[in-house]
Amino acid sequence: MKDLSPQIQNQLAQYQQLQQQLQVLASQRLQLDTKVKEIESSLQELEKAGPDTNVYKSVGTLLIRADNREEIKKELEDFKETISIRVKAIQKQEKSLNERFEQLQQKLTEALGGKPATGSSG
């Protein structure tokens, strides 16, 4: 790595940084996707539960009986919407970082003597 120009060393550092950021975003998106599925499951169970079934909601480390099912349902739907918006924001950020990552990858490939990724063979 010492025989590489400072510019290429900088690009390699950026490349690794982008790679790490993409991994973090993918992990966050996966966690949020899982949360959305949990909420959907909770909403389905709430619909299935009979009117005599007690429903509880989690508040910190406590479970508190909830008398108003419609309020609980609305809270879950609002939470799901909030998380879905965050997922979309992460997906947009991932797309942008992926584009930068691919451009940098192509520059590095060319700079290190490889063939350009979009070049035609002849």
**Token code pair at residue 97:** 């970082």
Instruction: Please give the full DSSP string across the chain, using - where no structure is assigned.
Output: -TTS-HHHHHHHHHHHHHHHHHHHHHHHHHHHHHHHHHHHHHHHHHHHS-TTS-EEEEETTEEEEES-HHHHHHHHHHHHHHHHHHHHHHHHHHHHHHHHHHHHHHHHHHHTTPPPTTPPP-
User: pLDDT tens, 84-98?
Assistant: 999 999 999 999 999
Stretch 112-118: mean pLDDT: 65
Query: Which pLDDT value is given to residue 2?
Result: 64
- Global confidence as pTM: 0.77
> Domains in the chain, ordered, with CATH?
6-111 (1.10.287.370)
User: pLDDT tens, 31-79?
Assistant: 999 999 999 999 999 999 988 899 999 999 999 999 899 999 999 999 9
Question: Residue 4's beta-bridge partner residues?
Answer: none
Query: Which pLDDT value is given to residue 7?
Result: 86
User: pLDDT tens, 69-87?
Assistant: 999 999 999 999 999 999 9
Query: Which pLDDT value is given to residue 4?
Result: 77
